[in-house]
Structure 1
Amino acid sequence: MLLLTIWPLFALICLGFVLSRRGFPDAGFWPAAERINYFVLFPALLVRNLAGAPLDDPAILRLGGAMVAVILMAFAALSLIRLVRPMPAARFGPTVQGVIRFNTYLGLAVTSALTGPAGLERAAVCLAIGVPLVNVLSIMALTEGSAFRNPRLMLRTVFANPLILACIVGIALALLGTGLPFGIESFLTLIAQASLPLGLLCVGAALRPSALGQDGLALTGTLALRLLAMPALAWLIAGLIGLGTTETLVLTVFAAIPTAPTAYVLTRQLGGDGTYMAGLITAQTMAAVVTIPVMLALLGLA
């Protein structure tokens, strides 16, 4: 049943891959589509869902705390592994991103398919907390922490992210209790409806199978950490904190999905190993069609 629910999402990813490889509609379409989704459509989706989120609900607060715990524990574990097996920042940065970052389009799409509007609100809260945190940790890993010696670089990189800005706006509206007046909610809803399908198509267009021919052992190890160990860790923390069924499912889904395609852009910008990062994105996205339903079933969430 779970596989029947999520296979259309991966079918969209496959369709995006096939269309882009055939040059349809043309080579310039996919970068433009990704930009309009990243800067306009997806931020609208976040604002729309965060503006009405019940931020005073204790379950929401526990979910946010659990999200932080999962990310920080994973980062700490990777840092300890690096002490045993040293690697340069150019490799450590992609490895960190391959474990702690998440594909926001796929996460919201899976959550929406499994839980409906209530889960979507909670997923938006996860993004509001998780996106800034994973960006800061990723920059730290790629720069050996030198970004802290240049606060302007850190702030510029983090707050140039439209998803972070959208989360700030959405949370501010929720705290003010003003909602989205004057038909703005309907306007954002119309825009947001295009975001997830277009985002999944763009995920497929960004896949780079040619990058899978290198670093097979490293790709496999990082894939196992991201797609198998992370959802198990999330499920464990959810149980320890006492999250409800919906919150546990949302947290586990965001831990079980592959890393974000935008990790490649940050890796290239900060001098990381772009080929390795492209391989991580591609390998995880291809494997996730199997690992997501398997892990959710094994953890009793299917």
Structure 2
Amino acid sequence: MLDLLLALWPLFALIIAGFYLRRWNFPNEEFWPGAERLNYFILFPALLFSSLARAPLNNPALPRLGLAVMLALAIGWVALLVIRRIRGWPAARFGVFTQGVLRFNTYLGLAAVGSLFGQQGLTLAAIMLALMVPTVNVLSVWSLTAERGVSARSLLLPIAKNPLILACLAGALINFSGIGLPFGSDRLLSLLAAASLPLGLLCVGAALRPEQLGGEIPALGWNSLARLLAMPLMAWLVAYALHLPAMESTVLVLFFALPTAPTAYVLTRHLGGDSQLMAGVITLQTLLAAASLPIILTLLS
């Protein structure tokens, strides 16, 4: 437990620092949107690209890990559809609950995996992201637009332009080609990647909205429990059923124990969902994850 706390507390310290820096208007309000864009389009793709370009992709457990990811997402999605049918949620709320249960904070996940397992863990995480990001994005958009319909182009075009997906695909292609990262490009990518996770965690903290926690307490509560407790338990059962090795199981469970993504707020507002409820879900899950994540990983170990 102590080792886990030592690995995780600096990550949450950066999140708290980001929250207070934005509250103190430092360096200024215009800094944070630009920092998020820089990270999303440049620094974070550099981390994913370099991780996959140099990774040994002959791990025999990788196909089972991919299957486990898709099974866990499918189980969570089917459960949400059943509950929606029973409760009659409109799309504006269903989209929030879907993102609260299925989306994940990528920056926190990669930072935690890197702290616990180093480069080997980052490789597994990058492979998982290549599967999870497009799947979760499609489900999120569909759930927010279920009542008015959405075209296949509207679902797939954002995925085709997603810099994280493109970085994963490009890194895998470079890996399989055997070209490698010549002429010092590996060092350049390492420098860019090193800046990504600290900046990402600061931006996560800057996006927190505690003032939104006074609203729908039951909805916020059950959605947080589903994401932070039920989903990692279900992921562990899937990993156990597929006989995943220890590190692959831990990385899988960790990603399903992460709080939802701050970018869910932007998508919810853009597609007409309940953005106030989404802001509350993001904030509560991020705060609770500081306690739930070490407990879950300790129980797993």
TM-score normalised by the chain length of structure 1: 0.96
Partner of residue 78 from structure 2, selected from 76, 80, 101 = 76
Alignment of 1:126-137 (within 5 A): 126-137=128-139
Offset of 1:140 from its aligned partner?
Answer: 1.2
SS of residue matched to 2:61: helix
Offset of 1:158 from its aligned partner?
Answer: 2.0
Alignment of 1:109-128 (within 5 A): 109-128=111-130
**Separation in 2, partners of 1:164, 1:270:** 22
**Separation in 2, partners of 1:279, 1:122:** 31
Contact persistence 1:111–1:123 (CA under 8 A) = yes
- Structure 1: 5+ residue runs without aligned partners? none
CA RMSD of aligned residues (A): 1.3
Identity of paired residues, percent?
55
One-letter identity of the residue aligned with 1:293 = P
Offset of 1:152 from its aligned partner?
Answer: 2.0
Partner of residue 54 from structure 1, selected from 53, 56, 75 = 56
Q: Which stretch of structure 1 is more off in the superposition, 101-110 or 59-68? A: 59-68
**Which residue of structure 2 aligns with residue 156 of structure 1?**
157
**Separation in 2, partners of 1:142, 1:153:** 12
Q: How many residues align?
A: 299
Deviation >6 Å, runs of 4+? none
Contact persistence 1:33–1:202 (CA under 8 A) = yes
SS of residue matched to 1:193: helix
**Separation in 2, partners of 1:253, 1:145:** 33
Contact persistence 1:139–1:145 (CA under 8 A) = no
One-letter identity of the residue aligned with 1:118 = Q
Q: Deviations over 1:11-52 (max 9, x none)?
A: 000000001000011111111111100111001000010112
**Which residue of structure 1 aligns with residue 89 of structure 2?**
87
Offset of 1:106 from its aligned partner?
Answer: 0.2
**Separation in 2, partners of 1:55, 1:61:** 10
Q: Deviations over 1:63-110 (max 9, x none)?
A: 111111111110111111111111001100010001111100000000
Contact persistence 1:219–1:280 (CA under 8 A) = yes
- Structure 2: 5+ residue runs without aligned partners? none
**Which residue of structure 2 aligns with residue 104 of structure 1?**
106
**Separation in 2, partners of 1:47, 1:63:** 20
SS of residue matched to 1:58: coil
Q: Deviations over 1:221-279 (max 9, x none)?
A: 00000000111111111111011111011101101110111111111111111111111
**Separation in 1, partners of 2:193, 2:50:** 8
TM-score normalised by the chain length of structure 2: 0.96
One-letter identity of the residue aligned with 2:250 = L
Alignment of 1:264-283 (within 5 A): 264-283=265-284
Q: Which stretch of structure 1 is more off in the superposition, 196-205 or 269-278? A: 269-278
One-letter identity of the residue aligned with 1:96 = T
**Separation in 2, partners of 1:248, 1:107:** 14
